[in-house]
Amino acid sequence: GQQVMQIPQYQHVQEGEDFTTYCNSSTTLSNIQWYKQRPGGHPVFLIQLVKSGEVKKQKRLTFQFGEAKKNSSLHITATQTTDVGTYFCAGRQGGSEKLVFGKGTKLTVNP
Amino acid sequence: NAGVTQTPKFQVLKTGQSMTLQCAQDMNHEYMSWYRQDPGMGLRLIHYSVGAGITDQGEVPNGYNVSRSTTEDFPLRLLSAAPSQTSVYFCASTEDRVYSPLHFGNGTRLTVT
């Protein structure tokens, strides 16, 4: 079945450092979504990418979708303690109704 | 709007017991799904529904049953609980099948002893 691989599994940074998490799929994706889950909470939608090569920004967060629509990344500039949580990517293979999640990257930030 | 409501928040079961996790949404979303979250495993799809009367299996359906008699409700049944079903369960709904974001409930933490 469809798999979405996400790395790294854990990332610990000092406040102010940058952070990046990567997602890779073995098959072309129709779209990819990113979610954030705070400790003890539920996943919350951040953004969706649909077009090949698409780049979107939300303040200090930059999201990219690869040209082949098989990979994506989330980059956070100058992390803050409020960025702590687990970041998930989730993608759909073209035509599929099923959204498959990566295993997530757990980010901790040392103040 | 309450969004997606899950009950109970916590549950402890003994092996072999059955129970139903409730999920309700008030956004008139056609698409609903159940995920389980285990440490290091991310979110895995158990079952999903694209509308009332229609359900289908996800990645890890064994040991679980669902039905969708109304647009609002999508209960998840554990037929005979096993320790391997200890997990956090999330229900989610979305407006369309492909391009809308998932709205998650607050989750049910289930422990099977």
Integer angstrom CA distances of residue B57 from A71, B31, B45, B63: 26, 13, 8, 11
pLDDT tens profile A28-50: 999 999 999 999 999 999 999 99
- The arithmetic mean of pLDDT across residues A4-12, rounded, is 96
Cβ pair B42:A1 closer than 8 A: no
| Side-chain half-sphere CA neighbours of B6 within 13 A | 24
Please report where in the chains the tokens 């295993």 appear, as a residue.
A103
Q: Quick one: pLDDT at residue B41? A: 84
Confidence of residue A1 (pLDDT cuts 50, 70, 90): low
CB of B112 closer than 8 Å to CB of B85 = yes
Q: Quick one: pLDDT at residue B75? A: 98
pLDDT tens profile B8-58: 999 999 999 999 999 999 999 999 999 999 988 889 999 999 999 999 999
Q: Quick one: pLDDT at residue A89? A: 97
Of the candidates A110, A91, A108, the residue with the CA atom closest to the CA atom of residue A6: A91
B40 touches chain A (CB under 8 A): yes
Query: Pairing relation of β-strands A4-7 and A19-25?
Result: antiparallel
Confidence of residue A96 (pLDDT cuts 50, 70, 90): confident
Separation between Cα atoms, residue A71 and residue A61, nearest integer Å: 17
Q: Quick one: pLDDT at residue A2? A: 66
Q: Report chain B residues whose CB lies below 8 A from the CB of A89.
A: none
Separation between Cα atoms, residue A62 and residue B31, nearest integer Å: 29
B39 touches chain A (CB under 8 A): no
Confidence of residue A18 (pLDDT cuts 50, 70, 90): very high
Q: What is the dihedral of CA B93, B97, B101, B105, to 10 degrees?
A: 10
